[in-house]
Amino acid sequence: MDAGCGIGGGLLWLEQRESQWQLEGYTVSKEQYDFIQQELPPHRFRVFLRSYDEPQGSFNAIYSLEALIHSPDLPTTLKAWSRHLQSGGIVVLIDDFRSEAWPAQRKELVGSSEIQAALGMFERGWLAKAFVTPARLAELAHEHGLRMVANRDIGAEYDVVGRNYGHNAPRLPQERDWGKHQGWLGAMARRILTVRGLVE
């Protein structure tokens, strides 16, 4: 199950490599759903226009690529996934998480106006409703019968801050100038928080 499948890219990639797998995805976006139905090459996977909190059937694997952060209620999401995961199954998450160092080792940074503005824009523009630390995710998962097996900071492993951002954080425009560009500004805010070591 692809939890938050977007326009189906992950499903299509997996189907082309693992043709025997039965794949299905969930999206709450009518535009994404329509794109999959009308624009993607012929495919066997199924997509449902419904929340990933309401999966149908059971799965031996549930994965979410940069979509768990949008959960309006993280405990509800994890509970639903646990109920629909087959015994011995696995949940794989690739997403942005609040740094474990926040705020204990970075009190002066977290309180700065730059970071507070970036955090607000990230949460609103990126729709980051489930922005938790990996430790908090592990606690919530445990409460619902799941267990964290591994936690890798891929951004640090691949030096995203150095390679992609050149260790530079952009400046957010004034809030009065945000207009209708919240998604783009959310990405900019995410970059600021990542460069400052507050997102992993």
Confidence of residue 166 (pLDDT cuts 50, 70, 90): confident
- Domains in the chain, please, with CATH? 1-95 (3.40.50.150), 99-128+155-200 (no CATH)
When the pLDDT of each residue in the chain is averaged and rounded to a whole number, the result is: 89
pLDDT at 61: 98
Q: What is the reported pTM?
A: 0.87
- What is the percent of the chain with per-residue pLDDT over 70, rounded to a whole number? 89
Q: Which residue reads 């995410």 in tokens?
A: 190
Confidence of residue 171 (pLDDT cuts 50, 70, 90): confident
Cα-based angle 70, 98, 82 (whole degrees, multiple of 5): 50
Q: Which residues contact 179 (CB under 8 A, 6 or more apart)?
A: none
- Helix, strand, coil fractions of the chain, as percent rounded to 5: 40, 15, 45
Query: Which tokens belong to 105?
Result: 């080792």
Backbone angles phi, psi at 93, to 5 degrees: -120, 130
Q: Tell me the average pLDDT across 44-63.
A: 97
Contact 117, 172 (CB under 8 A): yes
The span from the CA of 199 to the CA of 114, in Å, is: 15
pLDDT at 59: 98
Return the minimum-mean-pLDDT range out of 31-45, 75-89, 150-164, 179-193.
179-193
pLDDT at 36 over 80: yes
